[in-house]
């Protein structure tokens, strides 16, 4: 085991595990958007099972932020200087822009909307949501603007050896302060940037401040973390705990932190996301195989809000106040109990299943960026099949087409197009 504070080179097993986390996060985002855009996708008919089982897409994006910060820091161990910064920027550009450009072409070829040249150019330059909204057909692209900004910020962070923990704390404090001062200044986007940065820089902190385990990862722990990833958003949201800062603000200052109108800043990253930061850190720790001095205590502490949320909600259920979404909540309670039980079970079958699940996720992880950036255009394109909507049969057919098209296009973009571009620009 390496000393704390150093970065060890991850072995192939951990690379595969990280790819699996990336893959499942992308799949969860894609599935959630079928449910979110169900009326676009298939008109008036949406399967109840989809509504109940659809994972939390935004949580997947938050996982991406932490994972991105971790990978950038782990793969750029040496301080960026004048000689290495150019190669770093080129690598990030080649990773992001070619596939993103193709996604814009797909939107323009399939959309029913008419976009002005200026709107297209600003989206191409990734200035959404700072100056304009993302394409209607590809809302998730907003996160790329944040990613590019964080990539740029990593250059001075690395060169001047900035303490990532200090950036994490400062980002949260200023973001919450900006919320509290609303509407003076009227700058919600600042909080959105800083909340996003707090997740991304947490990944950098993990890479720089934890030790790397070299033994093979525990498949049961990976499966446990996946079930927790499925469960945590619905369980915490049901209890109202993510809105705790706002509730405290009402008690202390007799006003809400939440902006009175939905605007660009509010629909991206908000203080609500902070409730999920410890869990996103946990997921990256587990899948990267990294440890720190008090990781067992950390694991116990993140269970406390979940147990508290369960007690609150079960109390409502017993008292006869359950709402119409209780079925979905109970499914997620089941996910949570599975995640808690799995680490204590000793079975070779479980490890075999776990390895197959990780292999499955890792394959999708290898094409995850393309999945993330093309799945929404495909949803909207399939929604334009006039006269083929509103029934269970049309939903099943469209779902099959969605899986085939998204997987096929993503494979071609990541495995064929991307290597070609790298070779051309080498």
| pLDDT 10s digits, 83-122 | 899 999 999 999 999 999 999 999 999 888 889 999 999 9
| pLDDT (0 to 100) of residue 11 | 44
For residue 254, pLDDT over 50 is answered with: yes
CB burial of 97-113 (b: ≥16 within 10 Å; e: otherwise) equals ebbbebbbebbeeebee
**Mean local confidence (pLDDT), 26-46:** 93
Number of domains in the chain: 1
Higher-pLDDT residue of 402, 260? 402
Closest CA to 316 of 239, 231, 232: 239
Residue 168 included in any domain:
yes
**Mean local confidence (pLDDT), 180-184:** 67
- Domain that residue 344 falls in: 12-425
Where does the pLDDT of residue 379 fall: very low under 50, low under 70, confident under 90, or very high at 90 and above? very high
Q: Which of 1-5, 168-172, 255-259 has the highest mean pLDDT?
A: 168-172
Q: Which of 1-10, 48-57, 207-216 has the highest mean pLDDT?
A: 48-57
Closest CA to 107 of 368, 365, 384: 384
**Mean local confidence (pLDDT), 159-164:** 94
Q: With contact defined as beta carbons under 8 Å apart, do 231 and 307 qualify? A: no
**Mean local confidence (pLDDT), 250-278:** 64
Residue 328 included in any domain:
yes
* Structure tokens belonging to residue 171: 């980002």
Residue with tokens 């690598």: 91
| Whole-Å CA distances, 244 to 89, 120, 240, 275 | 39, 39, 7, 9
Q: With contact defined as beta carbons under 8 Å apart, do 273 and 267 qualify? A: no
Where does the pLDDT of residue 418 fall: very low under 50, low under 70, confident under 90, or very high at 90 and above? very high
| pLDDT 10s digits, 289-347 | 888 778 888 988 999 989 888 888 777 677 766 565 677 778 888 999 999 999 888 87
| pLDDT 10s digits, 219-232 | 888 999 999 999 99
Residue 90 included in any domain:
yes
Model pTM? 0.91
| pLDDT 10s digits, 128-152 | 888 888 899 998 899 999 999 999 9
Q: What is the largest CA-CA distance in the chain?
A: 66
The residues, ordered by sequence, that sit 6+ positions from 181 with a Cβ below 8 Å of its Cβ are none
Angle at 53 between CA 264 and CA 412, to 5 degrees: 70
Residue 321 included in any domain:
yes
Burial of 393 (0-12, 13-18, 19+ CB in 10 A): exposed
Burial of 184 (0-12, 13-18, 19+ CB in 10 A): exposed
CA 274, 280, 282, 288 torsion-angle sign? negative
Residue 6 included in any domain:
no
| pLDDT (0 to 100) of residue 262 | 39
Q: Report the share of the chain in percent with pLDDT over 90.
A: 54
Residue 148 included in any domain:
yes
Residue 402 included in any domain:
yes
For residue 8, pLDDT over 50 is answered with: no
| pLDDT (0 to 100) of residue 10 | 41
Q: What is the mean pLDDT of the chain?
A: 86
């Amino acid at each position: 085991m390496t000393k704390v504070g150093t970065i060890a080179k991850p072995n192939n097993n951990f690379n595969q595990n990280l790819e699996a986390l990336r893959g499942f996060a992308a799949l969860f985002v894609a599935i959630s958007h079928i449910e979110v855009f169900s009326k676009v996708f298939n008109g008036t008919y949406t399967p109840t099972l989809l509504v109940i089982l659809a994972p939390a897409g935004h949580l997947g994006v938050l996982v991406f932020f932490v994972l991105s910060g971790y990978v950038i820091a782990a793969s750029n161990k040496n301080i960026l200087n004048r000689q290495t910064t150019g190669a770093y920027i080129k690598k990030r550009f080649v990773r992001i822009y070619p596939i993103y450009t193709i996604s814009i072409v797909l939107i323009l070829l399939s959309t029913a909307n008419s976009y002005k040249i200026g709107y297209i150019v600003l989206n191409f330059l990734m200035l959404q949501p700072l100056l304009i909204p993302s394409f209607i057909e590809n809302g998730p692209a907003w996160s790329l603007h944040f990613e590019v900004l964080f990539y740029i910020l990593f250059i001075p962070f690395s060169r001047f050896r900035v303490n990532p923990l200090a950036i994490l704390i400062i980002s949260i404090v200023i973001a919450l302060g900006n919320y509290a001062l609303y509407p003076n200044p009227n700058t919600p986007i600042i909080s959105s940037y800083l909340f996003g940065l707090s997740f991304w820089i947490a990944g950098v902190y993990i890479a720089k401040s934890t030790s790397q385990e070299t033994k093979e990862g525990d498949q049961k722990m990976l499966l446990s973390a996946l079930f927790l990833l499925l469960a945590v958003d619905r369980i915490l949201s049901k209890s109202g705990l993510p809105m705790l800062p706002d509730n405290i603000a009402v008690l202390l200052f007799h006003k809400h932190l939440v902006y009175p109108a939905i605007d660009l800043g509010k629909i991206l990253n908000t203080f609500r996301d902070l409730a999920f930061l410890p869990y996103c850190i946990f997921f990256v720790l587990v899948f990267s195989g990294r440890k720190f001095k008090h990781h067992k205590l950390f694991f116990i502490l993140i269970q406390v809000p979940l147990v508290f949320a369960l007690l609150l909600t079960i109390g409502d259920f017993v008292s006869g106040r359950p709402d119409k979404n209780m079925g979905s909540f109970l499914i997620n309670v089941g996910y949570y109990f599975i995640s808690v039980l799995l680490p204590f079970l000793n079975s070779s079958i479980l490890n075999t299943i776990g390895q197959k699940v990780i292999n499955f996720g890792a394959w999708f992880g290898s094409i995850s960026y393309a999945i993330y950036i093309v799945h929404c255009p495909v949803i909207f394109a399939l929604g334009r099949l006039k006269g083929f909507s509103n029934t269970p049969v049309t939903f099943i057919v469209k779902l099959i087409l969605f899986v085939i098209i998204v997987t096929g296009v993503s494979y071609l973009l990541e495995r064929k197009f991307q290597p070609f571009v790298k070779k051309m620009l080498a």
